[in-house]
Chains A and B, each alone.
Chain A
Amino acid sequence: MTSTPGVRAGDSAQQPGLARALPHRRPSGEPPPLPRKLNKSGKYWLLLALFVVMFGAVVATTSRTGVTLDVLDHQVLVWLADLRTSVVTHLMRTISWLSSSDALVIAWWISLAILIIWRRWRHLLVWVVAMLLVSNLSLAGAEVIQRPRPLDIEIIGPWQGFAMPSAPMAVFAATVVNILYALVPAGRPRQIGKGIAAVLFALVGFSRMYLAQDSPTDVLFGLIIGVAIPLAFFRLFAPNDVFPVTYHRGRKAHLDVTGERGLAIRRALKDQLGLIAIDVQPFGLEGSGGSTPLRVTVEGNPDTYVFCKLYAATHLRSDRWYKLGRTMLYGRLEDESAFNTVRRLVQYEDYLLRLLYEAKLPVPEPFGIVEITPEREYLLITQFFDGAREIGESEVDDSIIDQGLLIVRQLWDAGLAHRDIKPANLLVREDRLLMIDSAFAEVRPSPWRQAVDLANMMLVLALRSDVQRVYNRALLVFTEDEIAEAFAATRGITMPTQLRRMMRQQGRRLHEEFRQLPPTKPKPIRIQRWSWRRVGLLVAVALGVLLGITIAIPLLGSPL
């Protein structure tokens, strides 16, 4: 592998050894590398559902179709009624109970508990919306079609309301499909689950016909509606490659980069940047929650690495919730406006990285952005600092301290702030200090934020050296007043979590030690800022929670 030195003033702007193929422009109409899709089975089920709706309309509006259907269904039910014995009837009543209100509410509560415990909110939302649609559509459809229960045959099971489509069958099928897609991991377990689901559908459908609760077409139409809607909802709004069902702990933000997405990444890198990827591996996941970081081996002479950050809609939402939470807790610390689209989020980070790079800061060379799924998934590609180690694991001598302080001075001079200076974002390689992750960087930051960058840098440097030494070196680059201002501005949440954790682990009160050193000690700068926006947000969130509770309570009942 090629060891690329950290890029600083005068360094080469090109990563040596990186081979580039000719990019390929995607012609209009050609699908993106990873298109959103429903899959064939989803389309078939939706077509069937459409047929059911159309057929329902025909039954509701034409006399002879309804009578013919009644007669045909009756023949099947008579044949089934001939099979009735006390033992079989008892068994069929037991099976049919699975589609009862009691059984469905038990299944719903168990599933709800699992979804809450595993914090699978997206799946929960899709479940609820799909179920509401299925139950309302089937009940409303029955009210419109107004087909009575099977005629000319003794009904020996419980029933309620008009028959077509069978609402119990629809809700039962929707519950099973929801369980399959929200609780069962994709792959072999789900394939097995699909087989079990098919058997359950057959058994419950048969039992309802045996008991003459429903006619065959009622069961069939209920089944189609109950399968098609949740299937389409999960495939469109909670696709497995973005929202995988897993039962291991860990950050939910990280995406699976094997399978179709892995292939899409390779194709996109080749077509859009001319980089031929040999291997795609997650890298440094434990230090990243806002994106999925990857180390990609690309063809070169010799083969080399590039660093990629995969951003998706999930990361956008994480960013939005994070910023909303901070605004509510602390007020408007700074520009906490959330991004509207993934594309803008990635464009912003790429732009800031380019600014940092042009300002001769020791940051990785930006290689550009690659589109995986339009408006949903993008990859940010940069140089990979091969062989670099986190500053927390490296020797910190005067040279490293000086480089760290110089980085802040350069940031100040360039009118930029990094806003996330922490050990994980400062790497050391061959006595050179490198800075990564420009996701939170800002152009023309407030003086307060610039001061915080300085304090955080000094704290990180002091973690592996001592306070007095860092302070003395800082006086070569900054004034006493600037340093005093930095520590007046910095405390608590203005320090990255990792930095606070490492200070706690070391049992050192570095912040207090630094504050004692400057001869002048300014009053701490207030970080709790009240604004109308903050008040409005708190009120809106409180109302939202109340509304959510009001909506959620009825949803706890039986979906039937």
Chain B
Amino acid sequence: MVAIAVPASLSACSLQQNIEGIPECTDSPRVPNSALVLMAQSVPSAQMLPCVRSVPVGWTFGELSARNGSAQFMFDSDREGMSALVVSLQSDCSVEDTSQVSSDQPGTERYERVSRVTNGFGGERIYTFDGGCVVYTFDLRGESHAEPVTEITNALGFVSREDLADQVSEHSDGRLSLDPTE
């Protein structure tokens, strides 16, 4: 009970935490974000990991769920509805029926699939990279289309596995690494 009541963001932790478990992109302080580490563990092959730069006004970070093989987190919006955006990390993604566009995230390829443009917007954006892929699934129920998509996608970014591994190693004074050492 006490543990639940303790705000996990009180101080520096074994790994960087926030009460919502948000996988934050920030690399300051040089303490690995525990949610990011968990996502990295869910898809050990993924060389890039999705992260959150900041949560825009009107949007709320939903829960992070990670398991062996995949991880996802979602955002709710006060205008676009619940689970308006779901971000999934997977080891493999289908890009059939998609259109490739130039990627805004270095080291990735980007694909788009639009399924609905009436009553908001529905569709998928897929980023592929070495060892994995990230899917943004949009289910926007508001009146505006492009604006909320831009708003929320600008709030997202990527962290390389290598950077995260460096943080883990540095934080444990070289005694531990993110992935098993050969």
List residues of A whose CB falls within 8 A of some B CB.
Answer: 53-54, 56-57, 59-63, 65-67, 69-71, 74, 137, 140-141, 143-149, 151-155, 157-162
Q: Which of A63, A67, A141, A148 gathers the greatest number of chain B CB atoms within 10 Å?
A: A148
CB contacts under 8 Å to A, within B4-44, are 4, 6, 8, 10-15, 17, 19, 21, 31, 34-35, 37-38, 41
Whether B38 pairs with A148 at a CB distance below 8 angstroms is yes
- The answer, among A62, A71, A148, A162, for a CB contact under 8 Å with B172, is A71
Assess whether B179 is interfacial by the CB under 8 Å rule: yes
Please indicate which of the listed interface residues A60, A65, A71, A153 has the most CB atoms of chain B within 10 Å of its own CB: A60
A70 touches B13 (CB 8 A): no
1/0 contact trace for B42-71 toward A, CB 8 Å?
000000000000000000000001111000
Chain B residues contacting A141 (CB-CB under 8 Å) are 3-4
Which residues in B have their C-beta under 8 angstroms from that of A149?
A: 38, 41
Residues from chain A with a CB closer than 8 A to the CB of B13 are: 59-63, 66, 146
User: Which residues on B sit within 8 Å (CB–CB) of A57?
Assistant: 2-3, 6
Q: Which residues of B contact A (CB under 8 A)?
A: 1-4, 6, 8, 10-15, 17, 19, 21, 31, 34-35, 37-38, 41, 65-68, 168, 171-173, 175-181
* Alpha-carbon distance A66/B171, docked complex (angstroms): 11
Among B65, B68, B173, B181, which residue has the most Cβ atoms of chain A within 10 A? B68
A70-B14, A143-B21, A144-B3 given; A153·B68 CB < 8 A: no
A147 touches which of B4, B34, B171 (Cβ 8 Å): B34
CB-CB under 8 A from A154, the residues of chain B are 180
What are 26 sample pairs from A and B whose C-beta atoms fall under 8 A apart? A57-B2, A60-B3, A61-B6, A61-B11, A63-B11, A63-B13, A66-B15, A141-B4, A144-B3, A146-B13, A146-B15, A146-B38, A147-B14, A147-B15, A147-B34, A148-B37, A148-B38, A151-B37, A152-B176, A152-B178, A152-B179, A153-B180, A155-B68, A157-B68, A161-B67, A162-B38
Partner of A146 from the list B12, B34, B173, B176 (CB cut-off 8 Å) is B34
A306–B67 Cα distance when bound, in Å, is 67
* Closest CB in chain A relative to B28 CB, distance in Å: 15
> Contacts of A65 on B, CB cut-off 8 Å?
14
Q: Tell me, in angstroms, the Cα distance from A149 to B15 when the chains sit together.
A: 12
- Residues of B with C-beta under 8 A to A137: 1, 4
Q: Which residue of chain B is the closest to A64 with respect to CB atoms?
A: B14
B14–A67 contact, CB under 8 A? yes
- Please, which residues of chain B bring their CB within 8 A of the CB of A140? 4
Residues of A within 8 A of B178 (CB): 151-152
CA–CA, A63 to B171, complex, Å? 9
Residues of B within 8 A of A157 (CB): 68
- Alpha-carbon separation in the docked complex, A60 to B14 (Å): 7
Q: Known contacts A60-B8, A144-B6, A151-B177; can you find 20 more A-B pairs with CB under 8 A?
A: A53-B3, A61-B6, A61-B11, A69-B14, A137-B4, A144-B19, A145-B3, A146-B8, A146-B13, A146-B21, A147-B15, A147-B34, A149-B38, A152-B177, A154-B180, A158-B67, A160-B66, A160-B68, A161-B65, A162-B38
